[in-house]
C-alpha cells in the first residue's frame, strides 16, 4: 500500500529554455523556448503543494540556470522540502551561482554523454571541454556534483572511461540512464541500445559498482534492468516480493511540468493530474495512472519474473514499443516474450 510518505522525489521543470540544443533532449528544449516560461508564483505554488518531510525537489529543464530568478526559486523550494537539487549543463552557473549552491548544499547533476567525440555529437561542438571546465569550477567552489551519462550505442564502450573521468574530476557520483526514444531522442533510432547492448550495459554497470565499492565515487543507475545483475541488497525482502529497486514511477517519484501537469515519469506523457489545480494527496493517491504501478498483478509482462521487486522494466519504453504501459520492456534480455529490439538492419 503506497502512502504519501512514500513520495520522496519530485522533479519540477522550471523552464524549457536552454542555451544548448542537444540532439536527444526529451523536452525538445533550445534557445528561445522561454515563451511559456512558468511564472515564479506558479512554481512556488507547486513547491507548496509538494511540501513535506523526507521529500526532495529536483529542478530540471531546459536549463534551470537560463532563468534570471533561479537562485530565488531554489531558495523558495528549500523552504518547503528537506533537500533540493538541480540538473544543469553547468555552462551558465557563474561564481555567485556556484557559491550559492555550495553554501546551501544543493547538488548539481551535470550531463556529460561520453568522451569528447560522443558528447559533442550529442551536445554540440566544444561542449565536452566547456562542461568539464564547468564541473571543475563547481567542484572547486565546494558544490557536490553528479555526472549524468546517457547510455547509447555511441557511449556504451566508454562507461568505465566516464567513471574514471568522474573520479578524476572529484565528483561524488556518476549516474547512467539509457537513451530514450522520446523528444528529439525519437529521431535517433540508430543510437538506441539493442537488447544485447542493454545486457552488456548492465554487465558493465555491475562491474563498475564492484570496482568502486570502496572508493569515493558512487556508481548509480536509472535503468531498472541494471539492478537485475547486482547481488540482492536484502535476500529476505526480495524473497518476500518487497520492492528494493528498479523503476520508481508511481512508487516514490513524480515529475511535474511547469504548468503543473503531473506525470509518472518524464517519458510517460499520460497526465496524472495537475498540481496547480489539485492537492498532492489527490494526485498521488487517486490518479488512475499512478495507481496502476502499485499492483504487481498489473505488470502483465513482469509479474511472474523473479526480478520484479528490483526491476519492473522501463514502463515508458514498454508503452512506446507496443502501446502497453504494463507490457514488455523491449530491452529486457531476461524476458521470454521474444519482443526484442535488434540492431537496425
Ligand atoms: S521481465 Fe520485467 S522484471 Fe523481469 S527482468 Fe525483465 S523487465 Fe525486469
Ligand atoms: S518508466 Fe522508465 S524512465 Fe520512467 S521512471 Fe521507470 S525506468 Fe525510469
Atom 6 in ligand 2: residue holding the nearest Cα: 247
Per-residue pLDDT at 345 exceeds 50 = no
Q: Is the C-beta atom of 247 inside 6 A of ligand 2?
A: yes
**Atom in ligand 1 nearest the alpha carbon of residue 246:** 8
Q: Which position has the higher pLDDT, 178 or 37?
A: 178
**Which ligand minimizes its atom distance to the CA of 310?**
1
What confidence score (pLDDT) does residue 37 get?
Answer: 85
pLDDT (tens digit per residue) in 5-28: 999 999 999 998 888 787 787 777
Per-residue pLDDT at 54 exceeds 80 = yes
Q: What is the mean pLDDT of residues 289-293?
A: 96
Per-residue pLDDT at 237 exceeds 80 = no
With cut-offs at 50, 70 and 90, classify the pLDDT of residue 39: very high
Over the chain, what is the mean pLDDT?
Answer: 92
Per-residue pLDDT at 342 exceeds 50 = no
Highest mean pLDDT among 37-41, 42-46, 188-192: 42-46
What confidence score (pLDDT) does residue 23 get?
Answer: 79
pLDDT (tens digit per residue) in 257-286: 999 999 999 999 999 999 999 999 999 999
CA 220 – ligand 2 centroid, Å: 14
pLDDT (tens digit per residue) in 249-265: 999 999 999 999 999 99
Atom 2 in ligand 1: residue holding the nearest Cα: 302
Q: Is the C-beta atom of 316 inside 6 A of ligand 2?
A: yes
What's the CA gap between 179 and 272, in Å, rounded?
24
Atom 4 in ligand 2: residue holding the nearest Cα: 265
What confidence score (pLDDT) does residue 238 get?
Answer: 67
* Whole-number percent of the chain with pLDDT over 90: 80
CA 306 – ligand 2 centroid, Å: 19
pLDDT (tens digit per residue) in 193-233: 999 999 999 999 999 999 999 989 999 999 999 999 998 77
CA 295 – ligand 1 centroid, Å: 15
**Atom in ligand 1 nearest the alpha carbon of residue 299:** 2
What confidence score (pLDDT) does residue 240 get?
Answer: 72
Q: Is the C-beta atom of 80 inside 6 A of ligand 1?
A: no
Q: What is the mean pLDDT of residues 320-331?
A: 94
CA 328 – ligand 1 centroid, Å: 8
CA 196 – ligand 1 centroid, Å: 15
Amino acid at each position: 500500500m503506497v502512502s504519501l510518505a512514500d513520495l520522496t522525489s519530485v522533479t519540477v521543470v522550471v523552464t524549457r529554455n536552454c542555451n544548448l540544443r542537444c540532439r536527444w533532449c526529451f523536452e525538445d528544449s533550445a534557445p528561445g523556448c522561454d515563451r511559456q516560461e512558468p511564472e515564479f508564483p506558479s512554481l512556488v505554488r507547486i513547491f507548496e503543494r509538494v511540501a513535506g518531510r523526507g521529500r526532495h525537489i529536483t529542478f530540471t529543464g531546459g536549463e534551470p540556470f537560463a532563468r534570471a530568478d533561479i537562485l530565488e526559486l531554489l531558495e523558495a523550494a528549500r523552504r518547503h522540502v528537506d533537500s533540493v537539487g538541480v540538473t544543469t549543463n553547468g555552462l551558465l552557473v557563474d561564481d555567485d551561482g556556484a557559491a550559492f549552491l555550495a553554501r546551501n548544499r544543493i547538488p548539481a547533476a551535470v550531463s556529460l554523454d561520453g568522451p569528447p567525440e560522443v558528447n559533442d555529437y550529442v551536445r554540440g561542438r566544444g561542449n565536452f571541454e566547456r562542461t568539464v571546465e564547468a564541473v571543475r569550477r563547481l567542484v572547486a567552489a565546494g558544490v557536490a556534483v553528479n555526472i549524468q551519462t546517457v547510455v547509447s550505442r555511441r557511449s556504451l564502450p566508454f562507461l568505465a572511461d566516464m567513471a574514471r573521468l568522474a573520479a578524476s574530476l572529484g565528483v561524488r557520483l556518476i549516474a547512467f540512464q539509457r537513451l530514450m526514444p522520446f523528444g528529439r531522442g525519437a529521431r535517433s533510432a540508430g543510437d538506441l541500445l539493442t537488447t544485447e547492448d542493454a545486457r552488456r550495459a548492465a554487465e558493465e554497470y555491475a562491474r563498475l559498482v564492484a570496482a568502486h565499492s570502496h572508493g569515493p565515487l558512487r556508481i548509480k543507475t536509472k535503468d531498472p534492468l541494471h539492478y537485475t545483475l547486482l547481488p540482492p541488497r536484502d535476500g529476505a525482502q526480495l524473497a518476500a516480493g518487497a520492492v528494493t529497486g528498479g523503476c520508481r514511477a508511481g512508487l516514490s517519484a513524480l515529475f511535474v511540468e511547469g504548468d503543473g501537469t503531473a506525470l509518472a515519469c518524464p517519458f510517460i506523457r499520460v497526465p496524472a493530474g495537475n498540481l496547480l489545480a489539485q492537492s498532492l494527496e489527490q494526485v498521488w493517491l487517486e490518479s488512475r495512472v499512478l495507481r496502476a504501478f502499485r499492483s504487481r498483478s498489473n505488470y502483465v509482462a513482469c509479474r511472474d519474473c523473479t526480478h520484479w521487486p528490483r526491476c519492473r522494466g522501463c514502463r515508458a519504453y514498454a508503452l512506446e514499443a507496443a502501446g502497453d504501459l504494463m507490457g514488455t520492456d523491449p530491452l529486457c534480455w531476461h524476458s521470454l516474450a521474444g519482443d526484442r529490439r535488434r540492431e537496425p538492419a
